[in-house]
A and B are shown apart, each in its own frame.
Chain A
Amino acid sequence: MEFAELIKTPRVDNVVLHRPFMPRVEGTLCLTGHHLILSSRQDSNEELWLLHSNIDSIEKRFVGSLGTVIVKCKDLRIIQLDIPGMEECLNIASSIEALSTLDSVTLMYPFFYRPMFEVIEDGWNTFLPEQSFKQIESSTDEWRLSYVNKDFSVCPSYPPVLAVPKSIDDETIRKVAIFRHAGRFPVLSYYHKKNGMVMMRSGQPLTGSNGRRCKEDEKLINATLRAGKRGYIIDTRSINVAQQAKARGGGFEVEAHYPQWRRIHKTIERSNILQESLIKLVEACNDQSHNMDRWLSKLEASNWLTNIKEILTTACLAAQCIDREGASVLVHGTEGTDSTLQVTSLAQIILDPTSRTIRGFESLVEREWLQAGHPFQQRCSQSAYSNSKPKWEAPVFLLFLDCVWQILRQFPCSFQFNEHFLILLFEHAYASQFGTFLGNNAFERRKLKLPQKTVSLWSWVNRPQDTERFLNPLFEANSLVIWPSVSPQSLLLWEGVFLRWNRSSKCLDEAYEEMIHIIEHNKELQSKIHTFGGKEQGYRKDIIVSPLTLDSA
């Protein structure tokens, strides 16, 4: 198919662009295969480049022959284009509509995008499972890598390489896979070096209504327990939902068959409800006609922060079991591709200082989301403005990022990255020139040949000059476990995402700049003193050097 067929009018002059908190721009509107471009003639800096795949929905209105197209984007921004001429306007609108809803993945921009930068380190190879397993191997020999899924036949949504208990052979794993939802047998998610406890994740056990059991499954998870120790199974569904799942062949681990495990049910909402929550929240944030009462009641009714609280609480619970109770944990919900991953990845943010660095966080996203088979393509194909009824869409990943942001707000010095990094990931999960978030799992990505045909987001982000803007200037490496508060008074609306287009952030940005300036200046002075001191021995000890190291006594 040619893109040209979809573009009815490639170019219209005298189009006026309105954007929040920016002056209107008049210029020429161009449509290309992947972009909507508006450029003013005067100078090139007044331009808009918008990826079609970022467009969530459009609306058109007419006043006489002047048409208006309102473009609502997946990053939640809303822009307005005034297009003279009814026909042009209709053409543009229908072209955008067609181009922003292309069915085939291979027509997406990442397959056409050629990087304008030199790829120094190919992001597709930066986070290989073998590498991250080496870390674990250095502290324990109880785990091994299994290639049982190398052709994706045991579990199509799992990657080809997985960490399993050493004492469990591949034959047993095959049997366990049959007993777990979509073949998602329990695998190692995180190894807590401090005390050797582990976190595993899986799909629900297929006990069904007649209480089927699987000896191999019991053997596998028991193999992760120390002698005489109990473990915790955290089911991300309420007990009722888990009970109901039995009728559909699913279920949960009953005490009788798993006597060494204690099961705890938590209630994390699922896809449709989450999508609705996002839609309501964005609606509330965008309606500026509200009075205070209505705003608060709409914010409440969206349930967004309730979801945040539930997810964070569950993650904290998992972390608590591991770090404080010295117990191993198995996390699952139904499929083990959504709420399960929110919990396992956030627990790692809490427990593992490495995951709070940029590289560590990328590795976490790679392991616990991309490799773990979170269906990004299904979940992120539409955002808050979509008119079509959601099928599989859900802001599961956005909720995860929001939770990370909440922890970041509570521990502003413990993260190497800043809020912008989280926003970047949100944007790219929904629309990107990079191939990282395409496809639903490793199998699909392999079939699409993404590593060969597209550029990885990590290839770009990890270039030193590009990483810089995502660095948190307050970062001081902190090796502690960080326990966030989950009380409602401690959780905040993520303004950087949800109010981003609704209020000017100029004053806040400038204050942030000033803070960076103070920090940079401090570093400069330190090094200056150092240089001086080298020249003038003996003087140095009079000088108080930064009092800001974390006291972890």
Chain B
Amino acid sequence: MEHITTPKVEQVKLLDRFSNRATAGTLYLTATHLLFVESNTAASEETWILHHHIAVVEKLSLTTSGCPLVIHCRNFRVVHFVIPRERDCHDIYSSLLLLRRPASYDDLYAFSYNPKQSEQQRVGGWQLIDLASEYERMGVPCDHWQLTDVNRNYKVCDTYPRDLFVPVSASKPIIVGSSKFRSKGRFPVLSYFYQEKKAAVCRCSQPLSGFSARCLEDEHMLQAISKANHNSHFMYVMDTRPKLNALANRAAGKGYENEDNYSNIRFQFVGIENIHVMRASLQKLLEVIGTKSLSMTDYFTGLESSGWLRHIKAVLDAAVILAKAVTVEGASVLVHCSDGWDRTAQVCSLGALLMDPFYRTIKGLMVLIEKDWISFGHKFADRCDQLDGDPKEVSPVFTQFLECVWQLTEQFPQAFQYNEWFLIQIHEHVHSCQFGNFLGNCQREREELRLKDKTYSLWQFLLNDQENYVNPVYQPGFSETHPVLEPSTLPFSFKFWRNMYHQFDRSMHPRQSVLKQVLSLKASNRDLEKAARALEAKLQKQGVFLSIAVDSKSKDPVHPVRPKSLILSAPLNCKEDEQKLSVCDRVRTVEGSSSAENGYNEEEEEPASFTKPEPTLVSLERGVARMTC
């Protein structure tokens, strides 16, 4: 509270980012949020901004109407306030600079957040995801893979979790030796076990090979991984970096595996760029899409030059290569990058998602994130800018993972139990620091922070709200016909994720949401079924018999999958019309649309009377925003 000098400012204007619309209201600064309450509308809409979400605060030069304050958030909200008095603006500005990123973990929201749950519920939340049973589900330990206690005290690798799986034949000295030859001690361990072919996905960091250094233990380690799989006489080593980067690392005593030193490995680069390139790419993308009255040409040119979709494609391409090697060739794969916590996490987790339908369920995605990201030490604190740290460590690596998952849900609309709101909600909370899950950089740090004692788990919170996150057209049976997903990675298969990067820009979205519509229909179906059963029972009691069974799967679809073509009157089933009416553009905001909001005529100023929106459906957006409060 000591940072807040001006807790309330009246007569503040909130400018719409894309049109010239302004709403007046009052700005409040609380210990955790910046709150704007509209004053002129009956509904008095509220905009809540969590301090931790704020990425950049800018105070622009004074104008006649006041002092502009622009706030860019990590959840891609951009707000533009105009504060009448320069002093108030400066106060808010300086407070926000101090509040947005505290110096120590203790000041993060998670430690003060209190959702009024019992201690039992809080503890239960942390027990929801259990990685030991996840490894068991995968089928380890088994003949060839065992749990090692070598890292029980974080002695061998302090950024790894305590429990790690390694080949049975890898003895402790080999593990320790190998870890000394790997950057940050991150030796090869099991990430995912593909039971069907007994093939393993392993992960590690780059070897400290320099130009010629070798390490027998490390060579043994790889040999052991390779030998643990009888299906294949070789294993792949996937270096997820561009070759040039790996070569450059050799000068610093790091590098990549020399195929001559390791028997039976096939080495491959896959060319995903580093965190700095990714950070710059997202920044460029946000710059482009934040432009007012953007032309189509500038949009596409900007999309291209930002390279964002190129990077997304590179990550997914790598995951596809990984999944193919494991499922088709039955080969084990060792994945690494430099430190093995960014690109490696992306590729391993997406590869597993392609191979294992479990990760396409709500619970499964939680487990996957818990395993490949949280436990293996993706540096959430640094990458998501939780504390006042090095800005060069910030990078949207996890955001890219979520986007890749989204791209897959677009291609396989029935394969995933969750919908895009789930992904967006996870993204929201990775940056909110409201829950303990993503705080810190590794497990050791989290234990020191005693997060499980002091904070709440996000997963329970998401599960409580599950009905908003389910994909209404999800088919559990899809995983039987498509256990392994084979997505297209042709450029046209990648789309710009508008609902993520423009989630708060109402005017950009479809005004009616298919997802919402179908979700509520499904909910209504459940209620109706219940009611029908109750009625039926009641009627039967009264002696009225009706032979109506309420079963949801008996009816054949009325509509043909493909519309028959009319070009001919000939038998129609011979035509190869493949058409699509996709349900894929799921949208979270369903708002009234107004012509003024869209600015069809740039030459003209909008008369004020035209800004009244036409209400259509209600919005979920505010519901989402509230959850972070």
CB distance from A253 to the nearest CB of B (A): 18
By the criterion CB–CB under 8 Å, are A489 and B496 in contact? yes
Q: What are the residues of chain A within 8 A of B300 when measuring CB–CB?
A: 296-297, 299-300, 305, 488
**Is B601 interfacial (CB-CB < 8 Å)?**
yes
CB distance from A343 to the nearest CB of B (A): 12
By the criterion CB–CB under 8 Å, are A484 and B598 in contact? yes
- 9 A-B contacts, Cβ less than 8 Å apart? A47-B574, A115-B569, A419-B579, A483-B597, A512-B580, A514-B414, A514-B473, A528-B528, A532-B536
By the criterion CB–CB under 8 Å, are B475 and A514 in contact? yes
Given A300-B301, A512-B583, is A521 in contact with B567 using a C-beta cutoff of 8 Å? Answer: no
Given A300-B296, A409-B585, is A49 in contact with B557 using a C-beta cutoff of 8 Å? Answer: no
Please report the C-alpha to C-alpha distance between residue A224 and residue B38 in the assembled complex, in whole angstroms. Answer: 42
Please report the C-alpha to C-alpha distance between residue A482 and residue B591 in the assembled complex, in whole angstroms. Answer: 11
1/0 contact string of A506-535 vs chain B (CB within 8 Å): 111111111111111110111011011101
By the criterion CB–CB under 8 Å, are A316 and B304 in contact? no
Given A292-B491, A469-B559, A502-B492, is A546 in contact with B579 using a C-beta cutoff of 8 Å? Answer: no
Given A518-B518, A539-B538, is A513 in contact with B615 using a C-beta cutoff of 8 Å? Answer: no
Please report the C-alpha to C-alpha distance between residue A489 and residue B557 in the assembled complex, in whole angstroms. Answer: 34
**Is A365 interfacial (CB-CB < 8 Å)?**
no
Given A115-B569, A433-B568, is A482 in contact with B531 using a C-beta cutoff of 8 Å? Answer: no
Given A496-B579, A509-B561, is A320 in contact with B595 using a C-beta cutoff of 8 Å? Answer: yes
Which A residue sits closest to B510, measured CB to CB? A410
By the criterion CB–CB under 8 Å, are A484 and B593 in contact? yes
**Is B411 interfacial (CB-CB < 8 Å)?**
yes
Residues of B in contact, count (CB < 8 Å): 108
Please report the C-alpha to C-alpha distance between residue A161 and residue B496 in the assembled complex, in whole angstroms. Answer: 48
Please report the C-alpha to C-alpha distance between residue A502 and residue B472 in the assembled complex, in whole angstroms. Answer: 27
Please report the C-alpha to C-alpha distance between residue A486 and residue B293 in the assembled complex, in whole angstroms. Answer: 10
Determine which of B289, B498, B521 lies in contact with A548 in the assembled complex, contact meaning CB atoms within 8 Å. Answer: B521
Determine which of A75, A293, A481 lies in contact with B310 in the assembled complex, contact meaning CB atoms within 8 Å. Answer: A293
Determine which of B313, B411, B548, B570 lies in contact with A49 in the assembled complex, contact meaning CB atoms within 8 Å. Answer: B570
By the criterion CB–CB under 8 Å, are A496 and B580 in contact? yes
By the criterion CB–CB under 8 Å, are B593 and A524 in contact? no
**Is B566 interfacial (CB-CB < 8 Å)?**
yes
- Chain B interface mostly helix, strand, loop or mixed? loop
**Is B555 interfacial (CB-CB < 8 Å)?**
yes
Given contacts A503-B492, A516-B559, 5 further A-B pairs with CB under 8 A are: A49-B567, A292-B494, A487-B18, A488-B296, A552-B615
**Is A46 interfacial (CB-CB < 8 Å)?**
yes
Determine which of B299, B538, B561, B570 lies in contact with A488 in the assembled complex, contact meaning CB atoms within 8 Å. Answer: B299
By the criterion CB–CB under 8 Å, are A525 and B532 in contact? yes
Q: What are the residues of chain B within 8 A of A507 when measuring CB–CB?
A: 411-415
Please report the C-alpha to C-alpha distance between residue A483 and residue B414 in the assembled complex, in whole angstroms. Answer: 31
Tell me which of B40-48, B242-250, B501-509 binds A.
B501-509
By the criterion CB–CB under 8 Å, are A291 and B518 in contact? no
B561-614 residues with Cβ-Cβ distance < 8 A to A are 561-571, 573-576, 578-585, 593-598, 600-601, 603, 607, 610, 614
Instruction: Specify which of A410, A460, A511, A531 lies most central, judged by the most chain B CB atoms within 10 Å of its CB.
Output: A511
By the criterion CB–CB under 8 Å, are B614 and A480 in contact? yes
Which A residue sits closest to B558, measured CB to CB? A520
Given A296-B309, A320-B601, is A500 in contact with B616 using a C-beta cutoff of 8 Å? Answer: no
Given A490-B509, A516-B557, A542-B531, is A297 in contact with B567 using a C-beta cutoff of 8 Å? Answer: no
CB distance from A74 to the nearest CB of B (A): 10
* Count of CB-CB pairs between chains A and B under 8 Å: 339
Determine which of B492, B513, B576 lies in contact with A19 in the assembled complex, contact meaning CB atoms within 8 Å. Answer: B576
Given A409-B585, A424-B563, is A317 in contact with B600 using a C-beta cutoff of 8 Å? Answer: yes
By the criterion CB–CB under 8 Å, are B299 and A290 in contact? no
Given A296-B300, A518-B472, is A488 in contact with B568 using a C-beta cutoff of 8 Å? Answer: no
Interface of A toward B, CB cutoff 8 Å = 19-22, 35, 37, 44-51, 54, 75, 77, 113, 115-116, 264, 285, 288, 290-297, 299-300, 303, 305-306, 309, 313-314, 316-317, 319-320, 323-325, 409-414, 418-420, 423-424, 427-428, 431-434, 457, 460, 468-470, 473-474, 478, 480-493, 495-496, 499-522, 524-526, 528-529, 531-533, 535-536, 539, 542-544, 546-548, 550-553
Q: What are the residues of chain A within 8 A of B488 when measuring CB–CB?
A: 503
By the criterion CB–CB under 8 Å, are B616 and A515 in contact? no
Please report the C-alpha to C-alpha distance between residue A267 and residue B300 in the assembled complex, in whole angstroms. Answer: 20
Which B residue sits closest to A552, measured CB to CB? B615
Please report the C-alpha to C-alpha distance between residue A427 and residue B563 in the assembled complex, in whole angstroms. Answer: 12
Given A411-B510, A490-B508, is A297 in contact with B566 using a C-beta cutoff of 8 Å? Answer: no
Q: What are the residues of chain A within 8 A of B562 when measuring CB–CB?
A: 509
By the criterion CB–CB under 8 Å, are A45 and B576 in contact? no
Q: What are the residues of chain A within 8 A of B328 when measuring CB–CB?
A: none
By the criterion CB–CB under 8 Å, are A488 and B294 in contact? yes
Please report the C-alpha to C-alpha distance between residue A296 and residue B312 in the assembled complex, in whole angstroms. Answer: 14
Which A residue sits closest to B414, measured CB to CB? A511
Which B residue sits closest to A506, measured CB to CB? B578
Please report the C-alpha to C-alpha distance between residue A496 and residue B304 in the assembled complex, in whole angstroms. Answer: 23
Please report the C-alpha to C-alpha distance between residue A22 and residue B415 in the assembled complex, in whole angstroms. Answer: 23
Q: What are the residues of chain B within 8 A of A487 when measuring CB–CB?
A: 18, 294, 507-508, 598
By the criterion CB–CB under 8 Å, are B413 and A511 in contact? yes
Q: What are the residues of chain A within 8 A of B614 when measuring CB–CB?
A: 480-481, 483
Given A469-B563, A485-B509, A536-B538, is A513 in contact with B580 using a C-beta cutoff of 8 Å? Answer: no
**Is B539 interfacial (CB-CB < 8 Å)?**
yes
Which A residue sits closest to B522, measured CB to CB? A518
Q: What are the residues of chain A within 8 A of B413 when measuring CB–CB?
A: 507-508, 511
CB distance from A539 to the nearest CB of B (A): 6
The 4 closest A-B pairs by CB, nearest first: A300-B300, A47-B574, A295-B491, A488-B299
CB distance from A245 to the nearest CB of B (A): 21
Q: What are the residues of chain A within 8 A of B576 when measuring CB–CB?
A: 19-22, 48, 77
Q: What are the residues of chain B within 8 A of A535 when measuring CB–CB?
A: 539, 544, 546
Q: What are the residues of chain A within 8 A of B412 when measuring CB–CB?
A: 507
Please report the C-alpha to C-alpha distance between residue A175 and residue B485 in the assembled complex, in whole angstroms. Answer: 68
**Is B529 interfacial (CB-CB < 8 Å)?**
yes
**Is B437 interfacial (CB-CB < 8 Å)?**
no
Q: What are the residues of chain A within 8 A of B535 when measuring CB–CB?
A: 529, 532-533, 536, 539
Instruction: Specify which of B496, B507, B524, B603 lies most central, judged by the most chain A CB atoms within 10 Å of its CB.
Output: B524
**Is B550 interfacial (CB-CB < 8 Å)?**
yes
**Is B493 interfacial (CB-CB < 8 Å)?**
yes
By the criterion CB–CB under 8 Å, are B296 and A305 in contact? yes
Determine which of B558, B565, B616 lies in contact with A516 in the assembled complex, contact meaning CB atoms within 8 Å. Answer: B558
